[in-house]
Structure 1
Amino acid sequence: MDNPAFAGDDQQVKERKGHESVQGGGSPRGRRQNVEGTAEQAERKPAAAVAGGAPAPNDAVNLERRVGLISGVALIVGTMIGSGIFVSPKGLLERTGSVGLSLIIWAACGLLSLLGALSYAELGTLVSESGAEHAYYMQAFAPNEKRKSWWGPIPAFLYAWVSVFLLKPSSLAIICLTCAEYFVRIFAASIDCLPPQESVKLVACVVIILITFINSYSVTLATKVQNIFTAAKLLAILIIVVGGAVRLIQGNTQYLATGFHGSTSSFGDIATAFYSGLWAYDGWNNLNYVTEELKKPYTNLPRAIIIGLPLVTVCYLLVNVSYLAVMSKEELLSSETVAVTFGNRVLGWAAFLMPLAVTLSTFGAANGTAFTSGRLCFVAAREGHMVDVLSYVHAKKLTPSPALLFNAFIALMMVIPSDIGSLIDFFSFTAWIFYGGAMLALIIMRRTMKDVPRPYKVPIIIPVIVLVISIYLVVGPIIDSPQIEYLYASLFILAGLVFYFPFVYFKKSVPGMGHLTTFFQLILQVVPTDTMPDA
């Protein structure tokens, strides 16, 4: 293949050598060093703090590069295949109204996610910092001298504000609630007996605490857990697909044969159907949050995306066909736990394996979500957009434990309402505002950074398409069916400006914050960090 994304490391060094850092500028807190970066620095230099091992004795303390290609694919696949495919089939089918249209929406969601992920592959190899959208907004809207302006860093700050306090914790809470519900159902006396909500919430809290401990204790342990649970969820998918294939061979095609009967023609229903489907696909950009910890990012980032996205799309389509080979549309809509109902009808005495498999799947997705969420909070704090202590790492474990603990705390607070349906819609509405913003950032950097070598480059039409669809997904439901929740979401985003101007732009500090930072630094055994060289 002649795509430069798959070129050898030596070629990457030649292409990047002599070009200045794409990050540019200094951190508001003064911790970023504006150094030149090459692939050799990131992937070969043994003495650097980023060379796949522990920092050199005189280097600043940093995160390490311990995520390889397999772990990168597992992170993408493992966070995408989680609770969505076991929760969203009901919401998507209900909104589309027909079997045929629902399958088309599933395929369209996969295609849209792939287009977005390919655009993120270019962004991740062009701007090699962790933090995904936060880093891309800073480079596109606040490069170099514009970082000192009052308006340049605002998009990045608002993204960090919404993501750290809403999007990432709510995603973790949704997945853990689903994990807990399926886990409790393993011990339910009857498959039709709904478990008490108090027990589900309690188990969800335990899952959040356990995952946070794993990620705080060791990056290596967290990636191994991710790899193992990704394999488990692929096995669960295989069980469903084989069971559905057997039923189809036996001639159970009557439910699929209904086709497009009853399809909706509502502009807003189709947009909200996309919300449910895209929730199942969410996670396609998660590897971009850990670019600084990815080995050989110029090659492994695009490869992991190109392997992971088609795999997940094929799995989702086959799983939905398998569901409809066993259940009618009405039965699927009436089931609260579709995968469990499927297992009860197809697996017989082994039906208990299905809720167990789903529990393992969602646990893995929650682990990956916590892994990446902590990195966003860490990077935002390092840029000066959150309190300093959230940018610290454990002195020995080299994990961003304060950011991980903060994310877990907010997620625990969100477990209390436990209304998964409303959380999914709210999450999707706000998330696609920022996905569209990342596409706009890529388009801008095609002009402002046109001379910078790109290890991977997509046709410009791809980010344009994703940007247009993002606008549709945000505006469509508001026009078709205005709800007060959309106003709340918009107000929450803008509320970040109340904190931006005094604490970020004017750099004011809350009295006693220094003592509080020192307290947490001593309790958690964490130390300040510096950014890694460009990759």
Structure 2
Amino acid sequence: MTEVREREGRRGEYSLEPKKNGGTEALEKKAPLDGDGVSVGDGKGVKLKRQVGLISGIALIVGTMIGSGIFVSPKGVLTQTDSVGMSLVVWLLCGILATMGALCYAELGTVVPKSGAEYAYLWTLGPVPAYLFAWTSTIVIKPSSLSIIALAFGAYVAEPFFSGECGPPQIAIKMFAALAILLIVFINCASVKWATSVQNFFTAAKILALIIIIVVGFVKLIQGEVRYLSPSVSFTGSSTNVFAYGIAFYQGLWAYDGWNQLNYITEELVKPYRNLPLAIIIGIPLVTILYLLVNIAYFTVMSPEELLQSGAVAVTFANRTLGVMSWLMPVAVACSTFGAANGTCFTAGRLTFVAAREGHMVEILSMVHVKRYTPFPALAFQSFIALLMLLPGDFETLVNYFSFAAWLFYGGTVAALLVLRYRHPEWHRPIKVPIVIPIIVLIASVYLVIAPIIDEPALEYLFAFLFILAGLIFYVPFVHYKYELPFMKHITVFFQLLLEVAPTSYFETEELQNA
């Protein structure tokens, strides 16, 4: 009979111990789950179900990565590299770095088979780094990403309804963005299968749009439009500022953002030991190839100067090549951004859910809908913050404040992999990457954190660092000392009844350990 180990409780302490069968009893908790009346022996309970297969996993990676980035980042990469050739090199290196980072995460995902990605893995370095990541991601990084992608969606959807040089007004863009967020959170709260089906559809739609750009680019190449791509010209004027390339990588890696998203839903993956690395190996190189081909296509139609002057690179490309069918490009970008927003919402909700389950957020966020088996409160919370972030209008500066923070945590996560390798070399690792890969990713993370600060020192980076540390104000009383406000239980019960949600029971089975 399949052995079942229930991971019970909130606000308990983690331990990392080797299992008797050679596997890893990773992050097992020691405290009981408040309010869970489900018997351990029957193996039943309200919990996340394994419904995400290989195809959906690939679609989630590809769909989340291909969003607004490929349509706006080429301009930023070219600005910092100063040449077509070096911009293409940066795009390639971004893909390689994303793939290596994801493979490191795949190893961690099998050693620590829990949803939450960085949050779960940073526990290796202690509860404080894990909490600070959850704090920063839940309150700012994830909601702001969702808001930015939704605003891009709103801008392209509103474009056909407003003619003139001024373009659509901000109020129209925000309305479409808000509608997109509300629709996406409804889909994700209603059903995991709905969410993954939407992801599959829009992933196919956006790849089709990129293929159109690539095919047009190949036609232009056959016609001899290669003057900006020849080796003798493409690297002319390349930037020699080593630290400026850090900002170029920021621009490129924004388009690759999502390479780690599958690790946020490890508990919902079917056969995670097989499907997690396969989805990474297939999904990220596919995106890298598409990005390189799309950038090449751009330069068959536009000169570097024209690309830098374009407010919307893909729209400029379409206007010059598709004629009366150029309207397809805003539609394609809208599909791309909607799919990316759906994937971002899907994974962001899981991060909040896991953080709350471990006592790092309020308890109601750790609950799952009793009928639909979705983390309804966590999804609603993330979307509410994203809607609030639409109000200020321009929050790109806010994202820039924390752009370096992401790689600070990525570097810390890879450091956790190295720590586990050193402390527990005897643990069973179904996926084990060569040691050189995490070392390269760690060095790259340090460079990406430091280089932009050296190139353009600004108070924004200091503010970002101080905001991260501000999470300790909540950590010390409410997490470390476990202080609970007297009225919180009543509020939790009220929302539990209102939303029809219940605490979860996390079961670790032998199927998970040997998948």
TM-score, normalised relative to structure 2: 0.91
Matches within 5 A, 1:214-233: 214-233=187-206
State the 1:154 CA deviation: 0.3
Structure 1 residues 28 and 352, CA, compared in 2 at 3 Å: closer, same or farther? farther
State the 1:511 CA deviation: 3.2
* Structure 2 gap segments, 5+ residues each: 1-17
Return the match for 1:134 from 110, 119, 134: 119
State the 1:449 CA deviation: 2.3
> What is the distance in 1 between the residues matched to 2:207 and 2:278?
19
> What is the match of residue 69 of structure 1?
54
State the 1:417 CA deviation: 3.4
> What is the match of residue 467 of structure 2?
492
Structure 1 residues 91 and 27, CA, compared in 2 at 3 Å: closer, same or farther? farther
> What is the distance in 2 between the residues matched to 1:491 and 1:289?
26
Tell me, yes or no, if structure 1 residue 517 matches structure 2 residue 492.
yes
- Give the partner amino acid of 1:23: A
Give the 3-state SS of the residue equivalent to 1:23 in structure 2: strand
Structure 1 residues 301 and 113, CA, compared in 2 at 3 Å: closer, same or farther? same
> What is the distance in 1 between the residues matched to 2:401 and 2:235?
28
> What is the distance in 2 between the residues matched to 1:210 and 1:381?
24
> What is the distance in 2 between the residues matched to 1:296 and 1:513?
38
> What is the distance in 2 between the residues matched to 1:84 and 1:423?
17
> What is the distance in 1 between the residues matched to 2:35 and 2:55?
30
> What is the match of residue 26 of structure 2?
23
State the 1:298 CA deviation: 0.6
> What is the match of residue 196 of structure 1?
169
| Cα deviation 1:457-498 (Å, max 9, x = unaligned) | 101111011001101110111122211110111001100111
> What is the match of residue 410 of structure 2?
435
Matches within 5 A, 1:159-238: 159-189=133-163, 193-238=166-211
State the 1:198 CA deviation: 1.4
Give the 3-state SS of the residue equivalent to 2:335 in structure 1: helix
Contact preservation (8 Å) 2:161, 2:168: no
Tell me, yes or no, if structure 1 residue 247 matches structure 2 residue 250.
no
> What is the distance in 2 between the residues matched to 1:244 and 1:484?
42
Return the match for 2:103 from 118, 142, 166: 118
Return the match for 1:104 from 89, 104, 107: 89
Return the match for 1:59 from 41, 44, 55: 44
Contact preservation (8 Å) 2:24, 2:111: no
> What is the match of residue 394 of structure 1?
369
- Give the partner amino acid of 2:188: N
> What is the distance in 2 between the residues matched to 1:301 and 1:479?
37
| Cα deviation 1:442-465 (Å, max 9, x = unaligned) | 000002221111111101111011
Give the 3-state SS of the residue equivalent to 2:457 in structure 1: coil
Contact preservation (8 Å) 1:272, 1:425: no
> What is the distance in 1 between the residues matched to 2:387 and 2:243?
32
| Cα deviation 1:237-273 (Å, max 9, x = unaligned) | 1000011111121122223344122322223321011
State the 1:367 CA deviation: 0.4
> What is the match of residue 440 of structure 2?
465
Structure 1 residues 28 and 87, CA, compared in 2 at 3 Å: closer, same or farther? farther
Structure 1 residues 17 and 64, CA, compared in 2 at 3 Å: closer, same or farther? farther
**Aligned residues: CA RMSD:** 2.1
> What is the match of residue 40 of structure 1?
none
> What is the distance in 1 between the residues matched to 2:47 and 2:149?
30
Please identify, of 504-513 and 410-419, the stretch whose mean Cα deviation from structure 2 is larger: 410-419
> What is the distance in 1 between the residues matched to 2:254 and 2:387?
20
> What is the distance in 1 between the residues matched to 2:443 and 2:351?
26
Structure 1 residues 32 and 429, CA, compared in 2 at 3 Å: closer, same or farther? farther
> What is the distance in 1 between the residues matched to 2:153 and 2:401?
20
Give the 3-state SS of the residue equivalent to 1:482 in structure 2: coil
- Give the partner amino acid of 2:97: L
Structure 1 residues 162 and 424, CA, compared in 2 at 3 Å: closer, same or farther? closer
> What is the match of residue 301 of structure 1?
276
Please identify, of 327-336 and 124-133, the stretch whose mean Cα deviation from structure 2 is larger: 327-336
| Cα deviation 1:115-153 (Å, max 9, x = unaligned) | 101111111111100000111111x12xxxxxxxxxx31
Tell me, yes or no, if structure 1 residue 87 matches structure 2 residue 90.
no
Structure 1 residues 452 and 57, CA, compared in 2 at 3 Å: closer, same or farther? closer
State the 1:29 CA deviation: 6.7
Matches within 5 A, 1:213-362: 213-257=186-230, 258-362=233-337
Contact preservation (8 Å) 1:395, 1:527: yes
TM-score, normalised relative to structure 1: 0.88
| Cα deviation 1:199-241 (Å, max 9, x = unaligned) | 1111111111110010000001001000011000110110000
| Cα deviation 1:71-117 (Å, max 9, x = unaligned) | 00000000001111011111111111111111111111111101101
Contact preservation (8 Å) 2:401, 2:463: no
> What is the match of residue 11 of structure 2?
none
Contact preservation (8 Å) 2:453, 2:461: yes
State the 1:510 CA deviation: 2.2
Contact preservation (8 Å) 1:276, 1:425: no
Contact preservation (8 Å) 2:71, 2:312: yes
> What is the distance in 2 between the residues matched to 1:232 and 1:168?
24
Give me the identity figure in percent: 57
Return the match for 2:342 from 367, 376, 387: 367
Structure 1 residues 378 and 20, CA, compared in 2 at 3 Å: closer, same or farther? same
Give the 3-state SS of the residue equivalent to 1:533 in structure 2: strand
Structure 1 residues 453 and 352, CA, compared in 2 at 3 Å: closer, same or farther? same
> What is the distance in 1 between the residues matched to 2:35 and 2:109?
19
> What is the distance in 2 between the residues matched to 1:29 and 1:499?
23
- Give the partner amino acid of 1:214: I
Contact preservation (8 Å) 2:46, 2:504: yes
Contact preservation (8 Å) 2:199, 2:342: yes
Structure 1 residues 69 and 16, CA, compared in 2 at 3 Å: closer, same or farther? farther
| Cα deviation 1:350-405 (Å, max 9, x = unaligned) | 11111101100110011011000000000000000000000001010010010001
State the 1:21 CA deviation: 4.3
> What is the distance in 2 between the residues matched to 1:125 and 1:206?
37
Give the 3-state SS of the residue equivalent to 1:532 in structure 2: strand
Aligned length: 489
Give the 3-state SS of the residue equivalent to 1:22 in structure 2: strand
> What is the distance in 2 between the residues matched to 1:80 and 1:320?
16
Structure 1 residues 113 and 337, CA, compared in 2 at 3 Å: closer, same or farther? same
Contact preservation (8 Å) 2:71, 2:313: yes
> What is the match of residue 412 of structure 1?
387
